[in-house]
Amino acid sequence: MKNDCLFCAIAGGEIPSNKVYEDELCYAFYDIAPQAPTHFLVIPKAHIASVAEVNGGNSAVVAHIFEVIARLCREKGLESYRVVSNIGEQAGQSVHHLHFHVLSGRDMTWPPG
Ligand code: 5GP
Ligand code: ZN
């Protein structure tokens, strides 16, 4: 856990969130400012700043998170959805703890704006 990291505090239960799912490696919760009818975030419990910090030593949790995303979406009956991770300021990253947005329930454009 990293001091002053919002998502470390959410994963640790120190800051409340609307939980979707939790296990020993990851935590999923609804986004506070949803951009689609369904919008939740999946994060590793261990602090990783972004996709740019994924390496051979910590990447197993990323595979696990994608398994969790597939399972959660299947359970929720979501057949079409988007998984997004923003890296860096220009891409729109505002929280510097790795997170995957899962968005569903509306038409989406490509490329994103
Ligand atoms: P980013 O902008 O880094 O790609 O995504 C960060 C996301 O975290 C945003 O969609 C934002 O709405 C969400 N967020 C920021 N603070 C909180 C919070 O305190 N609780 C929850 N549930 N979501 C948050
Ligand atoms: Zn963190």
Query: What is the CATH classification number for the domain harbouring 87?
Result: 3.30.428.10
CA of 79 to the centre of ligand 2 (A): 30
pLDDT tens-digit map of 18-74: 999 999 999 999 999 999 999 999 999 999 999 999 999 999 999 999 999 999 999
Ligand 1 atom nearest the C-alpha of 91 is: 4
**Is 110 inside a domain boundary?**
no
Report ipTM for this prediction.
0.99
pLDDT tens-digit map of 59-87: 999 999 999 999 999 999 999 999 999 99
**Is 111 inside a domain boundary?**
no
pTM given for the model = 0.98
**Is 112 inside a domain boundary?**
no
**Is 48 inside a domain boundary?**
yes
Give the whole-angstrom CA distance, residue 76 versus residue 91: 28
Q: Which residues line ligand 1 (CB under 6 A)?
A: 6, 17, 29-33, 86, 92-95
Domain extent at residue 81: 6-104
Give the whole-angstrom CA distance, residue 74 versus residue 97: 26
Q: What's the pLDDT score for residue 2?
A: 85
CA of 43 to the centre of ligand 1 (A): 11
Kindly state the average pLDDT of the residues 107-112. 95
**Which ligand does the CA of 15 lie closest to?**
1
**Is 1 inside a domain boundary?**
no
Helix (H) or strand (E) holding 63: helix 60-75
